[in-house]
Amino acid sequence: MPKILDYDHLEFFVGNAKQAAYYYRMAFGFRLTAVAGLETGVRDRASYLLEQGTIRFVLTTPLGPEHPAADHHKLHGDGVRSVALLVDDVPGMYRQTTANGAKGIQEPTELTGPDGSVQIASVATYGDTIHTFIDRSKYTGIFLPGYQPVEKDTLSRPANLQLVDHVVGNVEWHSMEKWVEYYERVFGFHKFWSVDDKQLYTEYSALRSTVVADPTERVKFPINEPAKAKRKSQIEEYVDYYRSAGVQHVAMHTENIIETVTKLRENGVEFLRIPSSYYETLEQRVGKIDEDVKTLARLGVLVDRDEYGYLLQLFTKPVEDRPTLFLEVIQRKGGRSFGLGNFKALFEAIERDQAARGNLTE
């Protein structure tokens, strides 16, 4: 049985990877470590590999309308094309997932270069998003053949983000169950956590969410769908602007959220604004925590507790002009859930921005 070992990278299709790379380096603290493009013998696209901790983002832009990233970008704007997974057996994973009903996108292929070879394949998931499987156990070079290392990134302003915690998909009305079942059937994932619209609602909008995880629970994919309420759900706003299901947010873990968020704010990252009233009842709700509540309030960090411990988290505003993808910073101090106690404060913050965009409609 082939196994998923970890997240490998997230590949974004963007309109201008050179400029987007600058943003993720200056604002989010990623290091530019490798590039692929005309100078490295790649004729149809430019890709920038950005790294921080074990997190890898690849920003890809097409060099002409023939490249599939061009159509993708026209329809979706900037967004995540591939949630790539490190596996121990690429052909086995491709065979198993396609036999279980996944649509194949790229058959198992060996990419070869002077530093060895990498096995790669991909299958479709929600919307135009794909999962790429990668095995680089026979490769000693940087990232993938075709990439050249960048010696030193003098622009990067590191924020000590360490690893991908979870990657969230927004799907269309009434299709969450279908996609949960897809991950169970195709990948052998199981349900890890879920909330329904009786728990997840505000005065105006509602959603349902189920988290699926691989057998080791290293890889976790929450799947959200809109639910019926007075006004348009933020999930529906996303789907309207992304023009399909897609990745809503990527959560990145830090071991010190206060230091990380202080740095990100200095770098100019914009976070959702949390009302000060949230902090007045915080300790009543979550009990004693190690952090100073005034500091958390100043930084806008949210806290939630579950039976295992607690977690601290906060969310950026969308990182492109369409109100689609955003990023999350999370620190887990034992807490294994997804901040149910914060959803209401969070959604109200999102709704204020949604109303400002003229999209909190009936």
Q: Write down the least CB distance from residue 315 to Fe ion, Å.
A: 8
User: Whole-number minimum distance, CB 22 to Fe ion, in Å?
Assistant: 26
User: Can you tell me the distance from the alpha carbon of 264 to that of 328, in angstroms, rounded to the nearest whole number?
Assistant: 12
Q: Pick the piece of the chain touching Fe ion (CB under 5 A) from 32-40, 108-116, 267-275, 320-328.
A: 320-328
Q: Which is nearer to Fe ion, 245 or 251 (CB)?
A: 251
Q: Which helix (H) or strand (E) holds 257?
A: helix 257-266
Question: Using the rule CB under 5 A, is 304 a contact of Fe ion?
Answer: no
- Amino acid (one-letter) located at 39: E
Instruction: Determine how β-strand 55-62 pairs with β-strand 4-13.
Output: parallel
Closest distance to Fe ion from the beta carbon of 300 (Å)? 15
Q: Between residues 165 and 320, which has the closer beta carbon with respect to Fe ion?
A: 165
Q: Look at strands 206-213 and 309-315 and give their pairing.
A: unpaired
The separation between CA 223 and the C-alpha centre of its own chain, rounded to angstroms, equals 12
Q: Cβ of 307: how many Cβ atoms within 10 Å?
A: 8
| DSSP secondary structure code for residue 139 in this structure | B
Range in contact with Fe ion (rule: CB under 5 A) among 90-98, 127-135, 138-146, 321-329: 321-329
> Exposure of 114 by Cβ count < 10 A (0-12 exposed, 13-18 middle, 19+ buried)?
exposed
The nearer residue to Fe ion, 36 or 319, going by C-beta atoms, is 319
Region near Fe ion per CB under 5 A, out of 10-18, 228-236, 319-327, 328-336: 328-336
By beta carbon distance, the residue nearest Fe ion is: 251
Instruction: Single out the segment in contact with Fe ion by CB under 5 A; choices: 32-40, 61-69, 244-252, 271-279.
Output: 244-252
Radius of gyration of the chain (CA): 20
Residue closer to Fe ion, measured from CB, 147 or 315: 315
Closer to Fe ion at the Cβ: 279 or 315? Answer: 315
Is the CB of 25 or the CB of 305 nearer to Fe ion?
Answer: 305
Q: How many residues does the chain have?
A: 362
Whole-number Cα distances in Å, 86 to 7, 141, 352: 6, 16, 38
- Going from the C-alpha of 159 to that of each of 58, 240, 252, 299, the distances in angstroms are 18, 32, 11, 14
> To the nearest whole angstrom, how small is the minimum distance from the Cβ of residue 168 to Fe ion?
5
328 binds Fe ion (CB under 5 A): yes
Contacting range for Fe ion; rule: CB under 5 A; set: 29-37, 243-251, 276-284, 297-305 = 243-251
- Indicate whether 302 belongs to the interface with Fe ion (CB under 5 A): no
Residue 251 binds to Fe ion (criterion: CB under 5 A): yes
Q: Which residues, 6 or more positions from 115, have their beta carbon under 8 angstroms from its beta carbon?
A: 139, 140, 141, 142, 145
Least distance (Å) between residue 221 CB and Fe ion:
11
Q: How far is the CB of 311 from Fe ion (least distance, A)?
A: 10
Residues 255-274 touching Fe ion, rule: CB under 5 A, are none
Task: Give the integer Cα–Cα distance in Å for 172 and 342.
Answer: 23
Near Fe ion by CB under 5 A, which window of 230-238, 248-256, 284-292, 345-353? 248-256
Q: With respect to Fe ion, which residue has the nearer C-beta, 102 or 303?
A: 303
Three-class SS of 51-83: EECCEEEEEEEECCCCCHHHHHHHHHCCEEEEE
Task: Say how far apart CA 312 and CA 257 lie, in whole Å.
Answer: 7
> Which stretch, 78-86, 251-259, 268-276, 286-294, contacts Fe ion (CB under 5 A)?
251-259
Q: Is 250 in the site for Fe ion (CB under 5 A)?
A: no
Q: Which is nearer to Fe ion, 108 or 226 (CB)?
A: 226
Give the largest CA-CA distance in the chain: 60
Q: In 46-163, which ranges are continuous DSSP H helix?
A: 68-76, 90-99
> 128 or 328, CB closer to Fe ion?
328
Residues near Fe ion (CB under 5 A) are: 251, 328
